[in-house]
């Protein structure tokens, strides 16, 4: 691990959603939306092996896809931050990035708890809008809002959240649009 010759504690340098990282997270969102839609479509089609599965197994498969998406997105943030810190000769785990990491984990825990609560009281139609609003708040909490592209990504999250709140069947398209927006954001910030 490189030693810090520059005693910079700016956490946005170590953990940032820019460039290739944003594009990777966008691809993960696209894959997750496609796989979830495929699982649900196969479950509803007659003569499909997925039709024979119980709804609880389908739910577990969808939760697995969501968990893997969160895990791979978090790993993308971690490895890009580590690579950037090494390249610029910063200490990766400085005080600010440790605080940011704990905030991120706490936010993920609270967000997942809220989503599980919505599912447990059978408000499944509100899962995607709640996720999009939570993701928008996550971007607000952890981004420097000095660039209009940051505002656009946050605005897209809230706009898609409102859209899926009014039209619940638009959930898959909203997640696909969010994935594409991340890819575009990554190319603009690259």
pLDDT tens sequence across 149-169? 678 888 999 999 999 999 999
- Note the pLDDT of residue 95: 81
Instruction: Provide the 10 A C-beta neighbour count for residue 90.
Output: 22
pLDDT for the residue numbered 14 = 64
Ramachandran assignment for 131, one of left (phi > 0), alpha (psi -120 to 50 degrees), beta (any other): alpha
Distance separating alpha carbons of residues 187 and 190, to the nearest angstrom: 5
State the sign of the Cα–Cα–Cα–Cα dihedral 39, 45, 49, 54. Answer: positive
- Structure tokens given for 78: 């971690």
The answer to whether residue 147 scores a pLDDT higher than 70 is no
Spatial distance between the Cα atoms of 179 and 88, rounded to a whole number of angstroms: 29
Burial class (CB in 10 A: 0-12, 13-18, 19+), 54: exposed
**Residues in Cβ contact with 52 at an 8 Å cutoff, skipping those fewer than 6 apart:** none
d(CA 158, CA 77): 22
Is residue 144 scored above 80 in pLDDT?
no
- Residue of 2 and 186 predicted with greater confidence: 186
Asked if the model's pLDDT at residue 5 lies above 50, the reply is no
pLDDT in tens, 36-71: 999 999 888 878 788 888 888 988 999 999 999 999
Considering the entire predicted model, what is its pTM? 0.84
Residue pair 61/38 in contact (Cβ under 8 Å)? The answer is no
* pLDDT (tens digit per residue) in 71-126: 999 999 888 888 888 888 878 788 878 888 888 889 999 999 999 999 899 888 89
47 vs 109: CA distance, rounded Å: 38
What distances in angstroms separate CA 144 from CA 16, 87, 140, 178, 180, one per listed residue? 9, 21, 8, 19, 21
- pLDDT above 70 covers a percentage of the chain that reads 88
């Amino acid at each position: 691990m490189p030693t810090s010759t520059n005693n910079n504690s700016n956490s946005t340098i170590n953990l940032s959603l820019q460039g290739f990282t944003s594009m990777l997270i966008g691809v993960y969102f696209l894959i997750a939306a496609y796989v979830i839609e495929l699982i649900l479509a196969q479950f509803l089609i007659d003569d499909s092996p997925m039709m024979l599965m119980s709804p609880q197994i389908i739910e577990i498969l969808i939760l697995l896809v969501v968990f893997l998406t969160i895990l791979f997105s978090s790993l993308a943030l971690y490895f890009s931050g580590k690579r950037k810190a090494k390249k610029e000769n910063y200490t990766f785990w400085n005080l600010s990035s440790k605080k940011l990491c704990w905030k991120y984990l706490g936010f993920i825990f609270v967000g997942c708890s809220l989503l599980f609560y919505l599912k447990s009281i059978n408000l499944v139609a509100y899962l995607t809008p709640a996720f999009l609003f939570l993701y928008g708040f996550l971007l607000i909490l952890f981004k420097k809002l000095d660039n209009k592209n940051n505002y656009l990504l946050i605005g897209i999250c809230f706009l898609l959240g409102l859209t899926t709140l009014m039209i619940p069947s638009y959930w898959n398209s909203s997640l696909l649009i969010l994935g594409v927006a991340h890819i575009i954001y990554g190319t603009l910030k690259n």
